[in-house]
Structures are given as C-alpha cells and as structure tokens.
Structure 1
Amino acid sequence: MNAVLAPATFATGARDIINSLETRFLHDEDLANDLDEVLGAPSGPVNMPAVRRRGPLVFRRLRSPEPTRGEVAELGRAVTRLERMLDRLITIAKRREWMPPYPNVAEAIVRAEAAREQHRTPVGDYTTDRAHLRHLAMAAADLLAPLVVINEEGER
C-alpha cells in the first residue's frame, strides 16, 4: 500500500532534507581542503601550523619557469571545480540570508558573484587562471565563514 503524504508534510520534509544536504556541503572536507590548498592552511590549535597534505600540482611551486601542459590542464580543472563549489555556496547563501538568524552575507554574495563572472572558464593562461583561482577561493571563504558560524551555533 502506498502512503500519500499531504503537500505540507512533503514540503516540510523536503526542506529539511535540503537543509541537511546544504549543511553537509558547508562542512565538506573537500571544500575545506581545496580552500586551504589555494589560500594556505589555517593555524591549528594554539597557533600551531595546520597539517598540510601534499596538494595537486597547481598549488605547488613550479620547478621550471614555464608550466607543463599537465599543470595548465590541472589548473583548469581546479578553476572549474571551485567555480562549481562557489555557485553552490552562492545558492545556499541566497536561501539562508532570509532565514533566522539572518546571516549578514549580502555583500559576500555580491563579491562572490563578481569573482565568478570575471571569466567563466579557464583561459589557458597559467598566471591569469591561477590568479582567478585564488580570487574564487577568497570569495568562497568569505561566503562560507558566516554560514558555518551560524550553523555551528545550532540555530539552523
């Protein structure tokens, strides 16, 4: 026998599931690791340096003045990945900026959208793409911080 949920019950349950998935994304270790790799790992407890994992080639210093084709391709993939993550963060922030306790993210959303629109795809120039990657990461970190703080206070 199939049970049919009332529309209000279904809507409430769907919103709860979406909020749960969004919260998991905000605390996703891959997102945190990507931002740490681009921006530098934050300090650990009592200002001890955080443990760094050996990241992809794009985040390491080049051994030669000219990047290899592989390094350029890897950078392109990193830019694309971070653009997708930033898109998702923007969507979450837009939904949550109107939910109590009303995180102050309006300016961060504007900055994130501006960073995203700078150039939507990797251009193949290593220096330009690397700068764009860093700009995307700064915008993502700026947007993520208030959303995670609000969430950790248990108010969502």
Structure 2
Amino acid sequence: MPDMSIQATWNEPGQAGQHFKNVVVPWCKSMWMAGHRLHVEVRLHEDAKTDRQRKYYHGVVLKTIAQQARGADGAQFPLTVWKEYFRSEYLGHKTVTTKNPMTGKKVRRRQRVSTEDLGVKGYSQLIDRVSAFAATELGVTFPMPFSEWERMQVDPDTGEIIGGLHE
C-alpha cells in the first residue's frame, strides 16, 4: 500500500512550487485513481513542530511518568492525572474579565492555561521542566531525548512508536 500522507517543509516559493509539481500533484493523482478522497492542510511550520512536541510530551514524557512514578502514598496514577498536575503546576491560571450579558456587570474569573496556548518555545520549556522534575524528584528515566524521538512517529491513539517521520 502506498504512503497515505505527504509531509513537507517549504522555506521559499520556488522550493514549494517544485515540490508541489513533482511530488504532491502526482501523489494526489495516484490516490484519486485508487479511489481515495483527499484532505489538504497547509500551515505554518511552527505549528507542525508543536504537533511533534505534543506527541513527544504525551507519547514519551507523560506516558513514561505514568508508568514509573509514584505519588506521595506510593500510588501509581494515569497519564491524565500527571498531565493535569503538571499543567496546573507549571502553567497555572489567568484571570479573565468578561461582561455578564444579562446584567451588564463585569465578571472576573480564573481560567486554566492550556498547553494548546503554548508556542514552540513555551512547549519546549514545559517539556524541559516536566522532564527535569520527573527525573530528579520522581526518579523517572526517559527512553530517548526529543532530538532522537523527532525522527520517529507515534500513534496518536496508543502513544506507541510506529516508525520514522516522512519529511
């Protein structure tokens, strides 16, 4: 079966045009000939980097912590518990002011800061802080650094490493 996706990074218009003409168009034609429907998405390169960071954070860092770390009472906790703990610990909350549509009065409330609000640098800092805490305070050992992991692909549903990136 042919690769079911194409990924590329373009740094300038000429490079994009050549790749599109020589790789993307022929690949699309072959997929249509095989009866497939296509979805195309083009975005800033920084977003793609953040996607890989997100996969690393969930598929390696948090998964490893959930497997190895123990809480104060010796209990083991699932990935989702550790994720929320670190989000709260390192990202915290922000105060948001809105107007109540029924009264017209200003209302202030605390809103959690999400990892989705982070850019490449912020996500990198979160990964570094969580990894350092896990290694020093929880005794967690990680299987590989991000630079090595970047060359791998992770199944988003299971977190399992399934092969090399197609870039």
TM-score class, shorter-chain normalisation, is 0.3 to 0.5
TM-score, length-scaled by structure 2: 0.31
TM-score, length-scaled by structure 1: 0.33
Report which of the two has the higher share of strand: 2
Larger radius of gyration: 2
Report which of the two has the higher share of helix: 1
